Structure 1
Amino acid sequence: MPIISELKRSEVTDPKTLVRFKEMFGDREPTVEPGTVNGTRGNLWTVTAHSPAAMEILEASIAIMLKGDVMSRIYKELAIVRTNWNIGSQFTFSQHIKVARDVGVTAEQADAIHCWQTSELFDPIERLVLAYADDMSAHNGRVPDERMRAMRDNFTDEQIVELTYCISLWILHSVNCRALRLEWDDRDDPIVEIPLPEGYAWTPGN
C-alpha cells in the first residue's frame, strides 16, 4: 500500500484530475475497485490527486514525452528507461520499457539497456543518449564537457532541452514512486543485512 492515503473520486475537486480519473478508471471508484486501463493498480493517480499542482507536473511530463516534437521518441524512451533503471524504480522502468518497444526500440535493445556500455546493439547516437542519461541520473547531473560537445554536434539546442527535461522529470517520478511506495514500487529494500546462521560468530576481517 502507498505510504499516504488515496484520494476518493468524491473527494476530488480539481476538474482536470476528474477527467484523468475518468480516463484511467472509467466510472469505478478506484480506491474500492483499483485498476487502470493500463493494467496497473492506479495509486499513482489517486495519491498524486492530493495535489492538483503535482498532477499538473505529471500531466506535463506525459505531454513532453508523447507530444514534444523536436526529439525522437526512440531517443527519449532510451533515456527515460535507462534513467528509471538507474534510480531503481520497478514501476517507471516496467512501464517505459513497454513504451520503448512500442516506439521502435528492439526487444534485444530493451533487454540490453542495463548493460548498454558493453552491448553492440546501439548505434553511436543511441550510445550518446544513454551516456547522457547516465550523467544526469547516476552521476548527479555532472555532464562532462566532451559529452555536451558531442550532444551539441548531433542535436539542436531545442532537442537537448527536451531530452534533458524528459530525463529530469523521470528522475522525479522514479524517486517519488519509490518514496511513496506507489504501484510496483511498493516493495521492501532488497539490500538488507543477512543474519549469521545459528552457531556462527562474526570474526572481524573475514
Structure 2
Amino acid sequence: MPRLRRVPREEVADPLTAFFYDRLLTAGGTATGSPGDWWEVFALDPAILRHCVKGFQLYRKSALDPVLRELGQTRAGWARQSRFVYSQHCKQMRAIGVPEEKIRAVASWQVSTVFGELERAVLAYTDALVLDGGRVHDEVFAVLKKHLPDEQILELTYITCMYEMHATMARALRVEFDDREDPITEVPAPEGYGTRDIADELA
C-alpha cells in the first residue's frame, strides 16, 4: 500500500479534488486498471494536487506533436523505472494511434528500426534528461533543432522532466503500479554456509 495516508472521499472538502474523485475513482480503482491511490495520496494537499492538474492541462494544450510528447513521457517512465508512468503512457500512446510495434520498442529504442530521425532524437534526449541529468550531446540537440522550433523543444523538455518527477514520486511514495517491493535484496546463502570468507576460497 502507499507509504502515505489515502484520503477517503468523505474527508474531501476541496471542490476540485472532489470533482476528480467523483469523475475518476470507483471502488475498483480507475478505468485504466490502476488502484487510483495517486489521487487519494495527493489529496493530502489540495494545492499540490491542483498544481499537478494544471501541469496535465498545460501539456494537453501544447503545440508539440502528441506522439513526440508521449515518446518522452513513456520513455521517462521506463528510464526512471516507474511501472505506473510507463504503463499509463503506453496506454496513452495507443489512444493517439501509435502502432503497437513502436510502443513495444520504446524500451529498446536504441536498436529499433521503427523510429524516424526526430523520434530517435526525442528518445535520446529523454535519456539524456532522465539518465544523464541533462547532459545532452550537441548532435542530439542539433537534430531537435533541425525539426522543431525552440518553443516546442522547451515544451518537450518541460513535459519530459515533469514526468520524470512524477515517476520518481510514484516510486518513492509507492502509489499505483509502483506499490511493490524493491527487487534488489540479498539472496540468503544455503544453510550451513555461516560466515565463510568467499574471497579466501577464490584466492
- Normalising by structure 2, we get a TM-score of 0.91
Structure 2 equivalent of residue 49 of structure 1: 43
Distance 1:108 1:10 in 2: 44
Q: Does 1:110 find its partner at 2:100?
A: no
Q: Matched residues in 2 for 1:75 and 1:176: separation?
A: 23
**Paired amino acid for 2:191:** E
2:149 and 2:107 map into 1 onto residues whose CA distance is 27
Contact 2:32 2:88 (C-alpha < 8 Å) held by counterparts: no
1-structure distance, mates of 2:171, 2:197: 33
Contact 1:64/1:162, CA 8 A, preserved across alignment: no
Aligned length: 199
**Distance apart, 1:34 and its partner CA:** 4.6
Aligned-residue offset at 1:21: 1.2
Which residues of structure 2 form unaligned runs of 5+?
none
SS of structure 2 residue aligned to 1:3? coil
8 Å Cα contact 1:89/1:178 also seen in 2: yes
SS of 2:115 mapped into structure 1: coil
The 5 A counterparts of 1:50-199 are 50-68=44-62, 70-199=63-192
Equivalent residue letter for 1:146 = E
Alpha-carbon distance in 1 for matches of 2:143, 2:111: 20
Q: Report % sequence identity.
A: 38
Q: CA deviation at 1:202?
A: 4.6
Displaced runs of 4+ in structure 1, greater than 6 A? Answer: none
Equivalents in 2 of 1:171, 1:61: separation in Å? 13
Deviations 1:145-180 (A, max 9, x none): 332232222111111111111101111110111111
Q: Secondary structure at the match of 2:114?
A: coil
1:19-38 equivalences in 2 (<5 Å): 19-25=19-25, 33-38=27-32
Residue deviations 1:19-49 (CA, integer Å, cap 9, x gap): 1112112xx6xxxx35123322111001001
- TM-score after normalising by structure 1: 0.90
Q: Which moved more, 1:94-103 or 1:6-15?
A: 6-15
RMSD after superposition: 1.6
